[in-house]
Amino acid sequence: MTATTDETWTAGNPGALGPTGRPRPVFPEPPVPENHGPARVVAMVNQKGGVGKTTTTINLGAALAEVGQRVLLVDFDPQGALSVGLGIDPRPLETTIYDLLMEEPDVTAEDVLLGTSVEGMDLLPSNIFLSGAEIRLVNEVAREYALQRSLEPLLPYYDICLIDCQPSLGLLTVNALTCAHSVMIPLECEFFALRGVALLMESISKVQERLNKNLEIDGLLATMYDPRTLHAREVLATIMQGFGDKVFHTVINRTVRFPDATLAGEPITQFDPGSMGATAYRELAREVLARWPARL
């Protein structure tokens, strides 16, 4: 077979080189789980904004739910973009993840949990009040473990919990890293994609040393890739040079269907189920399920 660069997401061309320059494996159709939980907790982290954290949380979550996984999404950004992207206006909400963090045990997870338009996928929403948590948590005992305490009672009911972090390496993100089994790092295929990644890796190492020795790096996800531009291809090649096997085979192309879906308040898998973007996130779901251990 001649190795050509396959820029489309149509499966069924095993052995062709994917956009990362490696032969693309065929990820198996995941089995539908017979029983559920406890959840693997995954933090979506990059202190840069606009790299695709929220988009990946929504769409990977929806793609995982489509194959029968029970998914809990945690909006851990005071901007509330994850909630908005799922069609929920978080501004008037009286109970959010903030109350769960600060008022436990008076506020329980059931008081905060919302369903979504995707069957099997629930949300812990947030709004601007969460920005107060960082300040209030500073004086708490075991302040890095607040999110872990809040999520613990929910984890038996889900298979995967994705935490959408804010663009910072502050205390909220440290909380997410402390309770996570692993981290995913979306990187935009643009100039300066790798700027700040060394600092992020340092923060992850510190959390591994001091707070969560089992924390793993699942991988770096190239997003907003435009195969037609030399620039994007060069950036992706640089990411590959730096991180090699840590980079997911699945690459998310740049398409206006993502902002369109966000505006519609739906995952792309529902908004435009046959689109390239929906197919890419389904492929990512298969890739992560192939990577993660079946049960913790």
Ligand X SMILES: Nc1ncnc2c1ncn2[C@@H]1O[C@H](COP(=O)(O)OP(=O)(O)O)[C@@H](O)[C@H]1O
**Residues forming a β-bridge with 250:** none
Distance CA 276, CA 9 (A): 7
For residue 166, state whether it binds ligand X (rule: CB under 6 A).
no
Interatomic CA distance for residues 161 and 176, integer angstroms: 11
Tokens of 135: 């300040």
> Residue 55 interacts with ligand X (CB under 6 A)?
yes
d(CA 218, CA 284): 12
- Report what 196 binds from ligand X, Mg ion, none; CB cut-off 5-8 Å by kind: none
Beta strands at 160-165 and 114-115: parallel, antiparallel or unpaired: unpaired
How many residues belong to the site for ligand X (CB under 6 A)? 17
Give yes or no for a cis peptide into 186 (omega within 30° of 0).
no
Count of CB atoms within 10 A of residue 206's CB? 13
Taking CB under 6 A as the rule, does residue 51 contact ligand X? yes
- Which residues bind to Mg ion, rule: CB under 5 A? 53-54, 81
Residues 204 and 212 sit within 8 Å (Cβ to Cβ): no
252 binds, among ligand X, Mg ion, none (CB under 5 to 8 A by kind): ligand X
Element (H, E) at 160: strand 160-165
Decide which of ligand X, Mg ion, none touches 55; Cβ closer than 5 to 8 Å per partner kind: ligand X
Give whichever of 20 and 127 is closer to Mg ion, judged by the CB atom. Answer: 127
Task: Select the binding partner of residue 275 from Mg ion, ligand X, none (C-beta < 5 to 8 A, by kind).
Answer: none
Contact with ligand X (CB under 6 A) among 23, 37, 38, 49: 49
Q: CA–CA separation, 132 vs 99, rounded Å?
A: 11
Min CB(190)–ligand X separation in Å? 11
Q: Which residue is nearest to Mg ion (CB)?
A: 54
Pairing of strands 114-115, 71-76: unpaired
Nearer to ligand X, 254 or 282 (CB): 254
Pick from ligand X, Mg ion, none: which does 255 bind, CB < 5 to 8 A by kind? ligand X
The phi and psi torsions of 91 (rounded to 5 degrees) equal -60, -45
User: What is the distance, to the nearest Å, from the Cα of residue 283 to the centroid of all Cα atoms in its chain?
Assistant: 14
Determine if 223 is a binding residue for ligand X (CB under 6 A): yes
Pattern 69-88, ligand X, x by CB under 6 A: ------------x-------
| Both tokens assigned to 5 | 């660069």
Residue pair 53/85 in contact (Cβ under 8 Å)? The answer is no
* ω into 267 cis (within 30 of 0): no
Which is nearer to Mg ion, 44 or 121 (by Cβ)? Answer: 44
Which one among 24, 40, 53, 286 touches ligand X, defined by CB under 6 A? 53
Q: Which is nearer to ligand X, 109 or 283 (CB)?
A: 283
Closest distance between ligand X and the C-beta of residue 267, in Å? Answer: 12
CB closer to Mg ion out of 20 and 126: 126
Choices 146-154, 204-212, 239-247, 250-258 (CB under 6 A): range interacting with ligand X? 250-258
Q: Provide the binding-site residues for ligand X, judged by CB under 6 A.
A: 49-55, 81, 167, 223-224, 252, 254-255, 258-259, 262
